């Protein structure tokens, strides 16, 4: 079994397919850990349909996914969600009718996942508190962890008790990071490379740390985002 991680697909169905093809992903044998935020983009429904074909899928809830789940359950459409991709998500569903399998996927999504002493989380967490006591808002929205790792790269392993920590949520293409590729700060790995801004979608082999990327604009080509 090969093991991969991907994050912040944001409705980029063709980029998702490219990534899976690049790693010759076996839908029946390989494992994919998705760090969340498949929601909020052009082809969200198609992306969820594709992910649900994967036998060994671990899905972690993202903040955009949580907005979508709230809509699925309550019908609420907060304006902050609609302007950040929610409208595109709704248009990807015929007549805005949710798919039960998609609802179940998000209802059962994890807030974090630990495997072989590696931590997978959408946003981040407070390293000074037990992970199991931290709530949805922190785990799906936190950016402090990656900022701490950036500033204290040489010391971060002393504080965080995991062999590797994979995060999404904070795009590497934005300042102060400014990279088209996943970033490695000590053993904290930022996997969101800005597919939602037109940049590449990245998939990482969690054992070899080899990175594969879809087609997309370079950061310089879309410098208007920073």
Which pLDDT band, with edges at 50, 70 and 90, does 160 fall under? confident
Q: What is the pLDDT of residue 175?
A: 84
Task: Determine the structural domain holding residue 85 and report its residue range.
Answer: 3-217
- Do the domain assignments include residue 134? yes
Total domain count for the chain? 1
- Do the domain assignments include residue 226? no
Q: What is the pLDDT of residue 96?
A: 78
pLDDT in tens, 53-109: 999 999 999 999 999 999 999 999 999 999 999 999 999 998 877 889 999 999 999
- Do the domain assignments include residue 210? yes
Which residues, at least 6 apart from 91, have a Cβ–Cβ distance to it below 8 Å? Answer: none
Q: What is the pLDDT of residue 225?
A: 42
Which pLDDT band, with edges at 50, 70 and 90, does 27 fall under? very high
Instruction: Give the residue from 128, 177, 188, 171 showing the smallest Cα distance to 12.
Output: 171
- Do the domain assignments include residue 186? yes
The CATH number of whichever domain residue 162 belongs to comes to: 3.60.21.10
pLDDT in tens, 178-221: 899 999 998 999 999 999 999 999 999 999 999 999 987 655 55
- Do the domain assignments include residue 142? yes
- Do the domain assignments include residue 90? yes
- Do the domain assignments include residue 31? yes
- Do the domain assignments include residue 223? no
Q: What is the DSSP string of the chain?
A: --EEEE---TT-HHHHHHHHHHTT--TTT-EEEE-S---SSTTHHHHHHHHTT-TEEEEB--HHHHHHHHHHHH----HHHIIIIIHHHHHTSGGGPPPHHHHHHHHT-BSEEEETTEEEESS---TTS-GGG--HHHHHH--HHHHHHHHTTTTHHHH--SSEEEE-SS-TTSTTT--SS-EEETTEEE----GGGTS--EEEETTT--EEE-----TGGGGGG-
């Amino acid at each position: 079994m090969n093991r991969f991680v991907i994050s912040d697909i944001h409705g980029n169905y063709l980029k998702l397919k490219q990534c899976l093809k690049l790693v010759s992903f076996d839908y029946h044998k390989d494992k994919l850990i998705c760090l969340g935020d498949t929601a909020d983009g052009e082809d969200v429904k198609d992306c969820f349909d594709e992910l649900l074909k994967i036998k060994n899928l671990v899905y972690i809830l993202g903040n955009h996914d949580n907005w979508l789940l709230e809509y699925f359950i309550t019908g609420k459409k907060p304006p902050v969600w609609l302007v950040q991709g929610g409208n595109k998500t709704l248009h990807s569903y015929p007549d805005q009718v949710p798919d039960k399998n998609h609802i179940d996927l998000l209802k059962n999504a994890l807030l974090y996942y630990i495997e072989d002493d590696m931590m997978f989380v959408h946003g981040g967490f407070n390293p000074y508190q037990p992970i199991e006591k931290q709530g949805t808002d922190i785990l799906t929205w936190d950016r402090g962890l990656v900022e701490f790792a950036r500033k204290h790269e040489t010391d971060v392993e002393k504080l965080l008790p995991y062999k590797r920590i994979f995060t999404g949520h904070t795009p590497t293409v934005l300042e102060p990071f400014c990279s088209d590729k996943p970033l490695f700060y000590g053993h904290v790995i930022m996997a969101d490379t800005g597919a939602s801004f037109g940049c590449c979608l990245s998939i990482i082999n969690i054992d070899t740390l080899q990175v594969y990327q879809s087609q997309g604009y370079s950061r310089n080509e879309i410098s208007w985002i920073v």
